[in-house]
Amino acid sequence: MTTAQIIYEQYKVLPKRIRQELKLLINSEDEAEKPFSLMEDIEQGLNEVKLIRKGKLPRRTFADLKREMNDAK
């Protein structure tokens, strides 16, 4: 039996209200995680470069990025 089959079997025995809540939760997470397309990522990066050149966005070094990542942990 695959993991998906096991999960489905467990899902079937849940009360109807809980199944509906689970569906809503899964759907809301799928909508929230709309991935950017590669083109959108490139356009965003180019816009940031333009802002840096105009002096409207501070320059960030690789060391700054590493420090930000460590602070986020």
Q: Are 57 and 48 in contact (CB under 8 A)?
A: yes
What was the pLDDT predicted at 60? 72
If we measure between CA atoms, which residue out of 42, 47, 48 comes closest to residue 65?
A: 48
If we measure between CA atoms, which residue out of 48, 44, 46, 27 comes closest to residue 36?
A: 44
Rg (CA), the chain: 22
Q: What is the domain partition of the chain in residue ranges?
A: 3-32, 38-72
Of 66 and 20, more confident: 20
8 CB-contact burial (10 Å; exposed 0-12 / middle 13-18 / buried 19+): exposed
Write down how long the chain is. 73
pLDDT band at 67 (very low <50, low <70, confident <90, very high): confident
What was the pLDDT predicted at 36? 64
pLDDT tens by residue, 13-65: 999 999 999 888 888 876 666 666 788 888 888 888 888 888 887 777 777 77
